[in-house]
Every structure is written in structure tokens, then in C-alpha cells.
Structure 1
């Protein structure tokens, strides 16, 4: 058993930007998975609303998540490329307790 931090983000892309968001999210995921405190990072695209994406991120602790949000790749890919193409963005943090494999 171990403590960890889970962030679940829901990104709703503007209808005309959904495919571009879908192309950039894997770039952000790949860079994020290389972070020292990252345990996992997954992206899912809503089958009925293809402009909605759910991102599930697991980090060693909240400090690791904060470091992620301050990283150069989050600034360049997330803040500068993806976020401007969104209608909305909701990020909720959770304290996790369990086995992470």
C-alpha cells in the first residue's frame, strides 16, 4: 500500500479544435511520463462527445503534481498549445491509497 496523488482532468475542446487537441495530448503525456514523480498518465476520448477528453494522472505526491504543472513541457504543450483550444478545463485532485503497479 502506498499514498499517491491522483489528478483527473476533463478537457472540453472547442468543436473545431478537437482533432488538434487529440494530436497534442499524447505529446504532453509522453513528456509527463518521464517526470521523476509521475506514476502513470492516461488519456481517454469520449466516444459520444469526441471533443471531450479525460486525463488521469497519478503522481508520487502532490508536490510531484505541482512540479508537473510548473514543467517546461506543460508550459509549452499544455498552456501554450492545448489550453487555448479548450472551451473548458476542470482538474480535480484526489489522495490515493493503494497498490500502484
Structure 2
């Protein structure tokens, strides 16, 4: 069963350009993963510094492989997360 991730990220407006660039880098690397079905990055309208990510993988194991990837550590964990003021993530099974 396909596995989806919806993440809401917020950063200071001054950090938005850096977070945006990093998320777009992560998007390209993630889309090349065999288990990735979708990785869409959105800037939330009328909320500077807010982003919405929608990710879909073939299954939970595919997402676990994604989290173990070097690009996830380098771009998301080391670059994006330290700049965030708020982060929430929802995991779901695609029906």
C-alpha cells in the first residue's frame, strides 16, 4: 500500500529563500529514489516562510529508505530543520 507524508514547515521570513532552495534540492534528489512516487514542495500562500510538502512512496519501507539517504541528512536534517520555527508531519496510508 502506498505511503504518504504531509509536512508543514515554518521558518522566519528572512530564512525562507534558503529553506526554499534546500527543499527544491531535496525534491530533485528524492524524485530519483526508486520508491518515490511524488515529492511536491509548496510555498503557503499569504504566509511568508511557510511550506507544505506532499510526499508519496510505494510503501513505508520506501519512506524509511528515503530517511536513510545521504541527501536527506545533508539537506533536510542539517540545512532545513535548524532553520525551522515549527514543523509538523502527518503519515498516511493511501487508500
Q: Calculate the TM-score normalised by the size of structure 2.
A: 0.95
In structure 1, what is the Cα distance between the partners aligned to 2:22 and 2:66? Answer: 17
Q: Considering only aligned residues, what root-mean-square deviation do their CA atoms show, in Å?
A: 0.8
Residue in structure 2 matching 1:79, options 64, 70, 77: 77
Q: Which residue of 2 aligns with 1:12?
A: 10
In structure 2, what is the Cα distance between the partners aligned to 1:61 and 1:93? Answer: 11
Deviation above 2 Å: which 4+ runs of structure 1?
none
Q: Which residue of 1 aligns with 2:53?
A: 55
Q: Which residue of 2 aligns with 1:91?
A: 89
In structure 2, what is the Cα distance between the partners aligned to 1:66 and 1:36? Answer: 12
Displacement of 1:88 after TM fit? 1.2
In structure 1, what is the Cα distance between the partners aligned to 2:12 and 2:46? Answer: 15
Q: Which residue of 2 aligns with 1:70?
A: 68
Unaligned runs of 5+ in 1: none
Count of residues in Structure 1 that have an aligned counterpart in Structure 2? 95
Unaligned runs of 5+ in 2: none
Residues 53-84 of structure 1: per-residue CA shift (max 9 Å, x gap):
00000000011111111110000011111111
Displacement of 1:40 after TM fit? 0.7
